[in-house]
């Protein structure tokens, strides 16, 4: 093939967000749009590092992925990349990409240098919905801000990109290697099985035999919903073929370009079918719900954990996994190095860290901040309130890992009970956890697609307001006299303890005397307008008061948050779009 230099002009809107660049498909299909971003990434990595590299290119299979993969292959060839690895049909979950970068050995003993992950995660897909792309580094984790800032700077000044126009499209549907010769020598595209590296890694972490025993008990019933995302490509292999679950326990496990028209976000609003099956829907189902249910998002890095008629908040989930990991999961049997959560995630994990005297870190929203801690051996388990949980086995959050972690805990607690008449349930595990550690009532309100100017004004108002605690407390007392005082407020700033880099303006926090917290921040993953997130949390230590409904328990704080932020005045919204 030949290398062509193509003239191009910058687009002004290619700033990567919390997790890469996400836009409507109609934006991505503009001539040169994807090309500019890919070249800007190569330039940020430097030509020296790109030349000879082995890059993984795959994603959640959403609409436009197949075209994007061919474009990236041709641009990689022209930029001197040595090898491209593609999961069969372009499918690899985000955690599987991370695992492939870290673990896979290809032909000629090659190892990957990095990856382009093609996903907009939990955002809907299809010609009228979202597409996305992000770059992951050699450690398997998302590019740090130093690199994403450089990519953005490059997109603003880009003048040309390189492409091998005459390279034929590569068949990514069948496994095998296709080789080409370019000006700098050989260029290979290797298509491989999407699941095998990841399955191997999971088998090295968990005790599959004990989970298998649990799943084969007639008293234990199981259900997994992939919401037509890429998790389907792993669920059958792991849950059915390896662990012996019935095929009928898999819902929506065929990956689709448009996720079947749905919103592939595993929460109580969007995972409707699973929610109904688990007995949490509006109308009670006729059949007895399964003991355990779980769902994933489009790229399978998120998870939702449910028990029979019972919802586990993600903040509780990571705390419970951390509290039980050493006993229940072989990978952690030597102990935990430390734990970490994102700032808006509830403090349930903090209490566990204290109890076990573990190193503990609070980082900004987004998985990229956990990677440095893990690389430095400071953190084993971490999580976010946004249905993200994971560990240092890779450098992304991992939806199926979280399900296997829960199944491991259930298997461990039921080790001697499988023959008896009652199993320890998900609900039992969570309520016992609350009894020991106290409960963090928690909810998140999302105001999606708000006018961007209005959202900025609301943030500016809250930034100014937090500087005067007396003003804040005056407003609060005027709304609810039964809510405690704010004792500290700030804009969250994080200094990475490993490389010293500082991330500022990561959300506004109001911290109350009784441990309650109100947090406001703008989403960095949306593709239209602005999304305001409001996080509300209240700690209850008294075991006789941990059984309330969270919406009831949090009602006073919600009222305070809405008045304090003038939410309705700024946004015109009297209710959030989604409550989780
Ligand atoms: C959201 C979540 C954040 C998560 C990010 C990527 O970001 O709040 O916790 O890390 O999505 O998850 P934001 O900036 O919109 O609040 V995923 O599954 O979209 O890669
Ligand atoms: Co995701």
> In the predicted model, what is the mean pLDDT of the chain?
94
CB of 155 closer than 8 Å to CB of 133: no
Instruction: Taking residues 136-153, report their average pLDDT.
Output: 93
| CATH class of the domain whose range is 197-437 | alpha beta
Task: Determine the topology of domain 4-194 in CATH.
Answer: Alpha-D-Glucose-1,6-Bisphosphate; Chain A, domain 3 (3.40.120)
What's the pLDDT score for residue 431? 96
Residue 85 · residue 136 · CB < 8 Å: no
Residue range 155-164: mean pLDDT, rounded? 96
**Contact 302 CB / ligand 1 (< 6 Å):** yes
Q: How far is CA 190 from CA 75, 89, 98, in A?
A: 16, 12, 17
Among 321, 312, 391, which Cα is nearest to 356's? 321
Atom 1 in ligand 1: residue holding the nearest Cα? 525
Name the packing angle between helices 550-564 and 469-479 (round to 10°). 130
The helix-helix angle for 399-413 and 94-103 (nearest 10°) equals 90
Q: Are strands 222-225 and 292-296 parallel, antiparallel or unpaired?
A: parallel
H or E segment to which residue 441 belongs: strand 439-450
Q: CA-CA distances (angstroms) from residue 210 to 248, 350, 409?
A: 21, 29, 10
Q: Does residue 265 line the site of ligand 1, with CB under 6 A?
A: no
Query: Does the structure show a pLDDT above 90 at 170?
Result: yes
Site to substitute for ligand 1 among 20, 388, 444, 445, most atoms within 8 A of C-beta = 388
Tokens of 236: 């059958």
Q: Please give the DSSP secondary-structure letter assigned to residue 320.
A: H
Q: What is the pLDDT of residue 284?
A: 66
Mean pLDDT of 282-298: 87
Q: Which atom of ligand 1 is the closest one to the Cα of 120?
A: 19
- Least Cα distance to 560 among 473, 488, 463 occurs for 473
110 contacts: CB under 8 Å, gap ≥ 6: 54, 82, 83
**Which residues lie across from 54 on neighbouring strands?**
83
Query: Long-range contacts made by residues 409-412, C-beta under 8 angstroms, separation at least 24?
Result: 409/320, 409/321, 409/324, 409/328, 409/329, 410/214, 410/220, 410/292, 411/207, 411/210, 411/211, 411/213, 411/214, 411/328, 412/210, 412/324, 412/327, 412/328
Q: For residue 476, what pLDDT is reported?
A: 86
291 CB within 6 A, ligand 1: no
| 366 CB within 6 A, ligand 1 | yes
For the chain, give every residue range classified as CATH 3.30.310.50. 439-579
Tell me the per-residue pLDDT of 67-113, one tens digit each, with 9 for 90 and over: 999 999 999 999 999 999 999 999 999 999 999 999 999 888 899 99
CA distance 335 to 327: 9
The β-bridge relationship of strands 360-363 and 494-495 is unpaired
Q: Which atom of ligand 1 is nearest to the CA of 531?
A: 15
pLDDT over 80 (residue 571):
yes
How far, in Å, CA of 508 to CA of 165, rounded?
A: 48
Ranges in the chain annotated CATH 3.40.120.10: 4-194, 197-437
Q: Are 5 and 35 in contact (CB under 8 A)?
A: no
326's tokens: 């050493």
Q: Is the CB of 98 under 6 A from ligand 1?
A: no
296 CA from centroid of ligand 2 (Å): 8
- CA separation for the pair 302, 314 (Å, rounded): 10
Q: What tokens appear for 540 in the block?
A: 């209850």
Catalytic residues: 121
Percent of the chain with pLDDT over 90: 82
CATH class of residue range 439-579: alpha beta
Residue that is written with structure tokens 């100017």 in the block: 453
Pairing of strands 176-182, 83-87: unpaired
User: Which of 15, 16, 18, 136 for a ligand 1 pocket mutation test, highest count of atoms within 8 Å of Cβ?
Assistant: 18
Cβ neighbours around 456 below 10 Å, total? 14
Terminal CA-CA length for the chain: 51
- How much is the average pLDDT of 16-21? 86
In the numeric block, which tokens belong to residue 469? Answer: 């605690």
pLDDT tens digits, 498-546: 999 898 889 999 999 988 999 999 987 777 789 999 999 999 888 888 8
Residue pLDDT, tens place only, 194-219? 999 999 999 999 999 999 999 999 89
Residue-wise pLDDT for 442-469, tens only, equals 999 999 989 999 999 999 999 888 888 8
Which region among 243-257, 337-351, 472-486 has the lowest average model confidence (pLDDT)?
472-486
What is the residue-wise DSSP string for 98-123? HHHHHH---GGG----EEEEE--TTS
């Amino acid at each position: 093939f030949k290398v062509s230099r193509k003239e191009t002009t910058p687009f002004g809107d290619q700033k990567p967000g919390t997790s890469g660049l996400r836009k409507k498909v109609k934006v991505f299909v503009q001539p040169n749009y994807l090309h500019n971003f890919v070249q800007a990434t190569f330039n940020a990595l430097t030509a020296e590092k790109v030349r000879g590299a082995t890059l993984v290119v795959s994603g959640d299979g959403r609409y436009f992925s197949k075209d994007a993969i061919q474009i990236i292959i041709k641009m990689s060839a022209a930029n001197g990349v040595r090898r491209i690895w593609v999961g069969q049909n372009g499918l690899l979950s985000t955690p599987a990409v991370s695992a492939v970068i870290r673990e896979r050995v290809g032909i000629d003993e090659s190892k990957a240098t990095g990856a382009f992950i093609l996903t907009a995660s939990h955002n809907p897909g299809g010609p009228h919905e979202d597409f996305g792309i992000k770059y992951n580094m050699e450690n398997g984790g998302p590019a740090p801000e130093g690199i994403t800032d450089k990519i953005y700077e490059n997109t603003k000044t880009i003048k040309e990109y390189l492409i091998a126009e005459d390279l034929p499209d590569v068949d990514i549907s069948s496994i095998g290697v296709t080789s080409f010769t370019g000006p700098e020598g050989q260029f290979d595209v290797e298509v491989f099985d999407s699941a095998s590296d990841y399955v191997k890694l999971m088998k090295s972490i968990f005790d599959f035999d004990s989970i298998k025993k649990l799943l084969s008990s007639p008293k234990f019933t199981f259900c997994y919903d992939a919401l037509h995302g890429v998790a389907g490509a792993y669920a059958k292999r792991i849950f059915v073929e390896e662990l012996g679950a019935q095929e009928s326990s898999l819902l929506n496990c065929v990956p689709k370009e448009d996720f079947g028209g749905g919103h592939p976000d595993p929460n109580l609003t969007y995972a409707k079918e699973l929610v109904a099956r688990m007995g949490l829907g509006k109308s009670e189902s006729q059949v007895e719900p399964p003991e355990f249910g779980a769902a994933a998002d489009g790229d399978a890095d998120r998870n939702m954990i449910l028990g029979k008629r019972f919802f586990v908040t993600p903040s509780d989930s990571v705390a419970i996994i951390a509290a039980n990991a050493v006993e229940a999961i072989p990978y952690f049997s030597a102990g935990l190095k430390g734990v970490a959560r994102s700032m808006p995630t509830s403090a349930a994990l903090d209490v566990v860290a204290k109890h076990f005297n573990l190193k503990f870190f609070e980082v900004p929203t987004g998985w990229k901040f956990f990677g440095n801690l893990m690389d430095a051996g400071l953190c084993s388990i971490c999580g976010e309130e946004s249905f993200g949980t994971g560990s240092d086995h890779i450098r992304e959050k991992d939806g199926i890992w979280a399900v296997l972690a829960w199944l491991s805990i259930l298997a461990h607690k039921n080790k001697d009970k499988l023959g008896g008449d009652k199993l320890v349930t998900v609900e039992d595990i969570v309520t016992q956890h609350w009894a020991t550690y106290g409960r963090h009532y928690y909810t998140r309100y999302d105001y999606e697609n708000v006018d961007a100017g209005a959202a900025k004004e609301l943030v500016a108002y809250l930034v100014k307001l937090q500087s005067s605690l007396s003003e804040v407390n005056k407003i609060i007392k005027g709304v609810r006299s039964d809510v405690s005082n704010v004792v500290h407020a700030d804009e969250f700033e994080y200094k990475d303890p490993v490389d010293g880099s500082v991330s500022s303006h990561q959300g506004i926090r109001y911290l109350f005397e009784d441990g309650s917290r109100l947090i406001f921040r703008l989403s960095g993953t949306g593709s239209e307008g602005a999304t305001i997130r409001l996080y509300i949390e209240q700690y209850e230590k008294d075991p006789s008061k941990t059984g309330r409904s969270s919406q009831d328990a949090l009602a006073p704080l919600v009222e305070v948050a809405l008045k304090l932020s003038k939410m309705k005045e700024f946004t015109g919204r009297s209710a959030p779009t989604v409550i989780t």
